[in-house]
Structure 1
Amino acid sequence: MKTKASIFILALLAAGAAQAQLYKWVGPDGKVTYSDAPPPKTAAKVEQKNIGASGAPSTAGLPYELAQAVNNHPVMLYTGDKCDPCNAGRAFLKQRGIPFSEKTVTTNEDIARFKQATGESSLPVLTIGRNKQAGFEESAWGSALTAAGYPKTSQLPKGWQQPAAEAAAPKAKVQQAEYSGKPATNNGPSAAAVPSLPPATGNAPPGFRF
């Protein structure tokens, strides 16, 4: 059975940005080629560079097959605070050696962006390219990752670091600062700009219920 945490949806915003990949390789004739399309199998000295949005995992230094999976079927994980299924899903991805982007859902803007991007009302949600998994179920996540070309065991190079998690709506504070004419602070937007989340149920954070 999939485990998940429900979330109240308050508003709708636009979805986030995607990432891209740049390839460099040397052909049989010695010619160096740059392209955003994957190189042919006969290519030598293949290099890849991540030119995507912040928070996206870099493919630099990854084995070719793993880098291809990341490029063709990028993995995104939506999580929340005090969410045991989210923690279990994150641990599973790290244990299997899956490079992924993590978006946290804690504010009204995050909730709205999450709804717009996934159409779901519960956490966690995992997207593997166009494949979506709502709720955590290890066997279902594992099968979806394998179908997308990800290895069954970790192939991450030594020293590889997972990118830090980012808010699902990271620009909310910047937009509020521009509107008010004042610098953004860590205290968050004013109550007028962002309505309060619904009260928590049990030990859940505001806006969530289990």
Structure 2
Amino acid sequence: MFTKLVLALVILSLGFSLAGAEMYKWVDENGVVTFKDTPPPASKKRRKVKVYNDSDFAPAPLAQPQPQPAPRGTTKKIVAPAEPARKEGFSGMVELYVTDWCGYCKKAQAYLKGRGIPYVAYDIEKDGAAHKRYKELGGRGVPLIIIGSNRMNGFSQESLEYYLNSGR
């Protein structure tokens, strides 16, 4: 009985030690974003490493209230919110290689559209020429994002902002 109790406590304590695990994120020299529970290898040339803890994640923000139309008969003019100001940086066209079913592709497109950044999205499953170019670029997953001479696999808002603001 005593050994079962001790064994149960040991297993329980090991389970709680895993709950506080950290996640590491880094972008390598090719623009590949990697998430792992171990630190990046020393052999990797890295630009930025961010360590995430459970306390880093806040609940989702509440939806912004939408402006209501003016009642009939009033002369009040409703003004749409201004587009967000862009920092000086990349001023060309961003290329996205996407699929219909990819949630991160949709997030990348929504982010670019929300910031007023011009982009072209190529569906690699519906467009043979886009699929060929995707393979030539070394595409392995979607979205594949081309910003000037930089290539980014996957969607990371932080990495995308880095490339857009670097002006290259």
- What TM-score range do you get, normalising by the shorter chain? 0.3 to 0.5
Bigger Rg over Cα: 2
TM-score by length of 1: 0.36
More contact order relative to length (CA 8 Å, sep ≥ 6): 1
TM-score by length of 2: 0.44
Structure ranking higher in helix proportion: 2
